Amino acid sequence: MNYNHIIYLRKELDKIKILFKKGEFKLVIKKSKALLKKNPNQTIIYNYIGLSYIQLNEIENALEIFLLANQRLPSEPSILCNIGIAYKNLDDILNARNFFNKAININPRHLPSYINLGHLENNLNHSKKAADHYLKAYNLNNNLEEVLTYHVLSLSAQGKFVEAKKIILELNNKFPENVKSYQLYSRIHKYALEDSHQKLMLSKINNPSLNHEDLSNLHFALAKSFYDQKNVEKFVHHTLKANDIKFKTFKDYNLKSEEIKFGKIKKYYKNFQVTDSNSRGENLIFVVGLPRSGTTLLHQIISSHSKTFGAEESHILSDFFNKKFKNESSLINFVSKELSDKKLCLNLSNEILSKYKIYDQDKIIVDKMPFNFRWIGFIKILFPQAKIIHSNRNPADSAFSIFRNMFDSPGLGWTYNQDYLIKYVNLYNDLMSFWKEELGDYIYESHYEKLVTEQVNETKNILKFCNLEFEEKCINYTDSNIPSRTVSVLQVRDKIYKSSVNLSEKYYKYFPFLKQIKKGPHKGAL
């Protein structure tokens, strides 16, 4: 390769890099493929093409280009790592893990492979394995924001709050503009009066360079600190500011799409002739409900049993059903063809089950993704033997808790707007009433208020519904050290407390919209 060609290649790669950062992925692919013809041994070109395909959600195309690169450059760890990423996106966990490890075998200091192995094990709720990979990444290079952040999240999930706080302070010192770290700290810290971390956050709040995302992070963290200190006025002030600013990050947000989806769910289920097409699902337990309704508590209790494995908030079902409900044609095909054909329906059940078995081959899997409440009837079709436990909490209490917390999941714009929050709770109430009318005892109503006041009896009832023998460790669930990555990360390490029952009533004066949150007809007897 002559000098002039090297200069030309560098200039072209610089242009492609800029396009990639701008999100012009189709143009990146086009220019990179043209460049690849004369430079078939340049690793970076393959990576730009493959990663652009991944950004476009064309995973098969990404895998194809990475495998081609691997044939030509078999000892290049970045290619092997990216093959692993492609397989992970295709839910091929075994191949993904295999290629990440291949990259590390070639280069034991290949940082991205350790991080991606951490992500993979983290998604499977294999917290100790994930923690080991994140720690190795930290030991290789603790001067990267993402490495420090993932290490913090891993330590927090395991309840290692003292260690996590040390890493957060390291993150603050090395990257003082990283505002997210303050919010991470607030989740695992109980604030006393004159708390130094609160003062640090207050010193940052008027920084004019903060964008809406960072500013909302800071206000949520400050709200939590004043809530701990029982300073109601400042808690309310920062909560309102946090939600108002956060909602501005959702451009042109409208709840209409959710309303339409809920309507279609009821319509297509109502018109479907349900037959027990298979006996699948005996090794699945789904805990559903509104966010902040007690799903994490139920998950900790049930997952403490010796015969269960807690998958926490798995995206397996939500990813599956969201694809089926993507548009009218895919929905019609799903209901009229796939579900109606016993063989095709069984194939779908087996496909989903195979993904759940990756968590643990032998144990009953507990999935506590709250939003699976949307799919209950279709779960019944695919998995007649599965257990559905509805975490049924006073919706006003759930709404209050939702409004004072920031969520890591994207697309939850309704949680930061009072009117949308009311409407979403109404949608939830209406759909749960529909499911109860259609399915009756297929759903177990676990009332949060009953669980925290009659813990032992209610735990026994829940386990009996799940066909599980009573075990004392389900009562002493905090001893099980089950990881948690939700906003409940600090609370699940504590024993059950009753002070959260009807807590919203104390704040009606400050958040009048809570009075408009109504209990659904499915409230049942307490």
What single string gives the DSSP state of each residue in 433-482?
Answer: HHHHHHHGGGEEEEEHHHHHHSHHHHHHHHHHHTT----GGGTSGGGG--
CB 188 within 8 A of CB 165: yes
Q: For residue 251, what pLDDT is reported?
A: 85
Note the pLDDT of residue 494.
60
| Distances from the Cα of 508 to the Cα of 312, 423, 511, 512, 514, angstroms | 32, 18, 5, 5, 6
CA distances from 326 to 60, 330, 396 (A): 20, 7, 31
Are 390 and 289 in contact by the 8 Å Cβ rule? The answer is yes
Packing angle, helices 93-106 and 77-89, rounded to 10: 170
Residue from 407, 428, 415 nearest 522 by CA: 428
Q: Which helix (H) or strand (E) holds 27?
A: helix 25-36
What is the rounded distance in angstroms from the CA atom of residue 382 to the CA atom of residue 345?
7
Other beta carbons less than 10 A from residue 186's beta carbon: 26
Architecture of domain 256-523: 3-Layer(aba) Sandwich (3.40)
Q: Among residues 488, 378, 372, 369, which one has the least CA distance to residue 428?
A: 372
Contacts of 486 (CB under 8 A, 6+ apart): 296, 312, 313
Q: What is the dihedral of CA 37, 41, 43, 47, to 10 degrees?
A: 30
pLDDT of residue 525: 37
Alpha helices in 158-231, H assignment, sequence order = 161-174, 180-187, 196-204, 212-228
Distances (CA, A) of 163 to 67, 101, 126, 151, 523: 40, 27, 19, 10, 42
* Domain ranges within the chain, ordered by starting residue: 179-249, 256-523
Answer for the pair 514, 399: CB distance below 8 angstroms, yes or no: yes
Tell me the three state secondary structure of residue 286: strand
Q: What CA dihedral angle connects 368, 369, 374 and 379, to 10 degrees?
A: -60
Amino acid at position 465, single letter: F
Tokens of 353: 């089950």
Which residues touch 21 (CB under 8 Å, ≥6 apart)?
none
Inter-residue contact 103 to 110 (CB < 8 Å): yes
What is the C-alpha separation between 333 and 271, in angstroms, rounded?
Answer: 14
Phi/psi of residue 265, each to 5°?
Answer: -55, -50
User: How is 135-156 classified by DSSP, letter by letter?
Assistant: HHHHHH-TT-HHHHHHHHHHHH
Provide the edge-to-edge strand list for the sheet that holds 308-312. Answer: 308-312, 364-367, 284-288, 387-392, 443-447
Separation CA 180–CA 186 (nearest Å): 10
What distance in Å separates the CA atoms of residue 352 and residue 348, rounded to the nearest whole number? 6
pLDDT value of residue 524: 45
What's the average pLDDT block by block, 10 residues per block, for the chain (526 residues)? 81 93 95 92 95 96 97 96 96 94 97 96 90 96 96 89 94 90 92 95 92 95 96 97 95 89 93 73 96 93 95 92 90 91 92 93 95 96 96 94 88 94 95 94 94 94 97 84 59 62 90 85 48
